[in-house]
Structure 1
Amino acid sequence: MSTKQRQDFFVGGDWSRSKRSDRANWTPTLYSFAQAIVAGVEKVRNRYPQDRYTTYLMNFNNNLNFGGNDDLSVRNVGARRVHLRLSVTDGVPTVTYRKGSEYIASVASAPEGILFTFKNVPTGTVPLHDIKYTSSEGFKIDAIRSIGYDYMRSYGSASLLIGLKETPSASVSHTPLSSIVSGVAEIKIEL
């Protein structure tokens, strides 16, 4: 990287140590460059196998934390994450990806609920999901009833089937995504 390119990262081209450490002197060029680096690393990262016992977390204050245990409270910054908004109107889903579209091949209705089919996910991956209903009545089944229970019905590195029911009772049948009248949810999937 040339001196001129480095100078473009800071107000007035002054990239002395004192000016570099003050974020008020950072230009949009620096943020754009950092964003491009992050995007490039994320794009290439998934081409290599992940070692679940070698992780690190680092913030921009140069605080490096190595984690080598299997403690689920430590979040691997290299983890594959999907975050999407699922809006349903008369059984037709509209998906808006916030992150991780490169891991989803399709989102479809299944007799038991919602089927997510994955791509670019290593064999042996076990997905975890979280659903937050953002419409006032969640996923509406009809004018009175709503989905009150969701769970991982089947899962693996190829797909995740989220079962949808009104209640968690075995006597209550599943509701396919195509039977949802209306509703919006934010869904996060850790891969």
Structure 2
Amino acid sequence: MTPVRIAVVSAGLGEPSSTKLLADRLRDATLQALADCGAHAEAVDVVLRPLAQDIAAHMVTHNATEALSAAIREVIDADAIIAVTPTFNMSYSGLFKSFFDGIEEGQLASIPTALAATGGSARHSMVMDTAMRPMFAYLKAQVVPTGVFAASEDWGADSGLDRRIAREGKELADLMTALPRRREADPFDVEGGAFQSFEQLLGHA
């Protein structure tokens, strides 16, 4: 049985990155929740920091490099997405937004998606509802109810961060199981991919 694939997009700018750490923990929670219900899954990391120059060039030239094209393909072909960004001025990072701006309209439609963000203070936590959810609603992704925001102080003991991560991971796993991604049929993929002439297509009418 082919495993379902989760694309884990992290837009952290530092090294090491709390954004990447949060993405990793959400990935692990989702994989564990899927394993608990008997689903076989694998995850692929899509780290945007090394692609920053490629993403910027793509915005002005509309020509994606091989590395950026591969990253975009991992996301649009995934069965689910975990998307995590640092917060600046109550919004997602420019790197995060520019990457998703490079994905064509409709390519994320119906993909189960979990959103998360990091920031220096809890006052930025509204970024989930004011910026991230509207963007992914526009992209027509299936976004889980819980969103995890991790402020600097949340990385300490007893902050509740672990519980929120586990909850969102389970919600994504449940959505993947109950409402798997609906892939639209390719109009050119007829009868297992065999080519049909125009006359044969008319015969099916």
TM-score (norm 1): 0.23
Query: Hey, which of these two has a bigger chunk of helix by percent?
Result: 2
Larger Cα-atom Rg = 1
TM-score (norm 2): 0.22
